[in-house]
Structure 1
Amino acid sequence: MPRIVRFHQTGGPEVLQIEDLPSRQPGPDEVRIRVAALGLNRAEAMFRAGNYLEPPVLPARIGYEAAGVIDALGEGVEGLQPGDAVAVVPAFSMTAYGVYGEEAVVPARAVVKTPPELSAVEAASLWMQYMTAYGALIDIGELDTDDFVLIPAASSSVGIAAIQIARMMGATPIATTRTEEKKQALLDLGAAAVIVTEEENLVEEVRRLTDNRGARIVFDPVAGPYVENLASVTSPGGILFIYGALSLKATPFPLFKALANALSIRGYTVFEISLDDDRLARGVHFVKQGLAHGLLKPIIARTFPFEQIVDAHRYMESNEQIGKIVVTV
């Protein structure tokens, strides 16, 4: 029987359990994957803790991203074959599917063939980060070469993906990080400038760096009270994307700043892209082109063996990482 990660109650990393469960057969329009690697995401930690967009149905499987090889097809699946190396795009609810385990059954539309030059570890790290950043910056934000992009919490995998995509498009990415510790790494990864928010004034620094224009796109995973400052540095007519809730504090709506500068302040998740077949296909093409030309490259912070899934989640919540955490199976 395959080993599968589930949790029977919400809580910290310690609630994750590795269990022997019967193998599942894929249903119509589903595939089964023999998993080689898992990519970890903050959304999964929030789901595990009961703080996500949807509550888990206990006992719950978990996980959006995996890479491996297809070993079974459900009825009606076309364009895929057993033996294909694939990676999973977050294009489903974790109340219905979860990929943490030695095997995973997922919708066929949520898998993408892995380019042969990528390892399973790299493939497992791709689709949440790049599709999330692509959707906001390219699909919705229509990023242009003369744009400034402000990227809070930029050392996350999605933050690094946003830096790379901004560079790919000729725009100027400005990263933020709380402490000096990650500043040089973010500069080395392509940020045009890094603002250390515990030491520098965000508003003054963004105005200086943009010649008082502000950032046309702000791409924020934190939310909470700091949104007021982010609205202050969004350029007139600009977009402030809030794609996460790491703060867990109430998020005010900066009404007068929005009115004065015609700001768009909107919630956003990757599912706007991944649940729409046409937008997903365009996103996959964009990312594959960036990978092929060496303009996009996943940064792996650390790998853990499957047996250390609890430790991997603890490390994710430590905020020490720069890039993606991957679990090998």
Structure 2
Amino acid sequence: MAQKKAGEVEAFLNRPDFAYSLVLFYGPDTGLVAERSAKLAKAFGVDPGDPFSAVVLSGDEIEKDIGRLYDEAKTLSLLGGRRLVRVRGAGAGKALADAAGELGGERLTDTLIIVEAGDLKKNAALRANAERGRHAMALPCYQDEGRALDQMIDEELTAAGLGMDRDARDALKARLGADRIASRGEVQKLCLYALGTPTVTEADVAAIVGDVSADALDEAIDAAVSGEVKRLPHLIDRLTTAGAPTFQLHQALLRYFQQLLALREGVERRGEPVARAVERRRPHFRRRPAMEAALSAWTLAALDARLQAIEADILMSRKDSGLALTITHRTLMDTAVEAARLRARGGA
């Protein structure tokens, strides 16, 4: 088996072992997945803009024509040297999972396949096959926390020749973390803003850095599921302006409704009190009122209908990325309107 724990991934990327011909990056932080994938691709030494040595494929494209992946993986570079194949937006498709198992079981001469996927459960076929492959490696990418976030901040400060006092760092970290690329972009913006001064201050952070933290994401999701229709547009705009990817908003909403569905089963079918069901879930105390309001309002039938609508919107946004922001905004607002209606009717 070839896999790393989340805390071991950076060490692997700093000294990559290219005996692994297929490397899978997966996790809920799509920005971190993309950044780490790019870091490994750079270390491999192939110019991503060279059409003779590098190719980028989409997960949807491969599911329709898996032969394309085999062809690209086993084609030698026309000019000699190494060849890079990147697969983006991989999902739960069977064709790609099977191919990962097969290609990850053999050593591909001078070829590296990098697969970027979302959050995969332990029993997901793609993840399981990558972990089992003799020449494959599975690398988890989870939300920036603690040391990893400090490291990213230090990298950007060093590159800009700036220092930062403790209060400024604490204020900055409170606004970062929901997505690696969005967070790095905010730090780079801060460094540009503070250029010419020796030290970044808390006032600089307040003046220029948007809020892309997990707390801001949770606040928007809570507002949607509990029916805070008037407050929600501001929360959505704050997240999207700060660079939070629409995919992350959709996935957070989907996961929340899946949790609500499991909790509501106990409320409707076993007569469990709402307060006890929420207590069993142990949410952060700031999120508890919204969860209790949502669990009281949403019936099993309503939850099932909303889950189907969310999944349909996610699929639509993936098919037409140009409308992703509009679709995500609509999904959240439709959810909030329906939640408000259900609360007004007492969950009927």
What is the TM-score with the length of structure 2 in the denominator? 0.30
What is the TM-score with the length of structure 1 in the denominator? 0.32
Whichever structure has more strand as a proportion of its residues is 1
Task: Return the index of the structure with the highest Cα Rg.
Answer: 2
